[in-house]
Chains A and B, each alone.
Chain A
Amino acid sequence: MTELADKDVPRALHDMGGVSRYMCEAVDTEPHELTDFDREVDAIRQLLGAKSVMSVDELRRGIEALPEADYLRLSYYQRWLLSMTATLLQKGVFTQAELAQAMKDIP
């Protein structure tokens, strides 16, 4: 049995440490203000954690499950929102039909 070395194992997209694709990309060191959207998504995630509805690990798993194109295109808190929604659906906190209805009910 030959053991696989780390370099032989396909990297998941979120596993960014040392990947070559960003080596020449400068870091945007400027401050970016959070939006109301960002703050609310963050707050709801904390509340879902505090109430044991959904854990940080579940949030991460949902983010890491996003298709690559979405992961790269979406903002940080948009990823969170999609992960939270998918996780809550999977856990049966609400159903797809309830979500669709709630979307429809928005004026």
Chain B
Amino acid sequence: MQTSDVDHDRLLTALRSLLAAKGITTAAEIAERITITDAATPARGAAMVAKAWVDPEFRTLMLTDGARAAESLGIPMRGMPPLGVLENTRTQHHLVVCTLCSCYPRAVLGYPPFWFKSNSYRARAVRDPRRLLAEWGTVLGDDVALRVVDSTADYRWMVLPVRPMGTRGWSEAALAGLVREGDMIGVTTPQLPSGTATLAK
């Protein structure tokens, strides 16, 4: 097939009709699969992180077997690769990349974001990670070790970030609201909303 001059929209239409004609996939199945996939968002991972911050038993489970921890919160993990969870501390930060393509903990974070799939992120994360993080405004102190972990198709990683100071007594839901997609890959760290920051510490 000549790839250089393909009309991709037409090719997708042709593929869809061929797969339907062969009895492999129906339009209804495709629509259902899109709905299911769209339902996986970073809110799932954020719920896991918040629970780990308040529930030591769950934290242990999450660090031991991420997929089982996700399932215990009702997150569907069937057919998904195993999920490893990397625990950040005040002296150890983790960053997740997939240098070969885009392997991402989709079950708990949803579709990989554009930057995660970009050539520059894939290239630089393993060679110049501190300057890469600075592009998100994330500056690690010299006393913080940085470990970069390369995902594979068969094993996915997410980061358990450090709970921000000044959140004692916060509800699990309020804590989950602090946790963003990038916090669970390691390009950012959870921050208190501006205004509350002055109360921290």
Contact = CB atoms under 8 A, between A and B. Distances in A.
Most buried by B among A18, A26, A99: A18
Interface of A: 14-19, 21-23, 25-32, 34, 37, 39-44, 46-51, 53, 56-57, 60, 63, 66-67, 69-70, 72, 76, 78, 81-82, 84-86, 88-89, 93-94, 96, 98-99, 102-103, 105-106
A103 B25 contact: no
A26 to B, nearest CB: 6
A21 B10 contact: no
A16 B127 contact: no
Contact of A50 (B79, B117, B121, B135): B79
Contacts of B118: 27-28
Interface residues on B, range: 35 or more
Interface in B109-157: 111, 113-115, 117-128, 132, 135-136, 150, 153
B10 A34 contact: no
Given A42-B37, A47-B33, A25 B10 contact: no
Contacts of A70: 3-4
Contacts of B119: 16, 22, 25, 72
Interface string B1-16: 1011010111111111
B120 A44 contact: no
B38 interface: yes
Contact of B14 (A23, A51, A93, A106): A106
A40 B19 CA distance: 13
**Pairs of residues from A and B, 5 with the lowest C-beta to C-beta distance, nearest first:** A17-B99, A22-B123, A32-B114, A102-B14, A16-B122
18 contacts: A16-B119, A17-B122, A17-B126, A17-B150, A18-B126, A22-B124, A26-B120, A27-B120, A31-B113, A37-B8, A39-B38, A44-B19, A47-B24, A51-B25, A82-B6, A106-B10, A106-B13, A106-B17
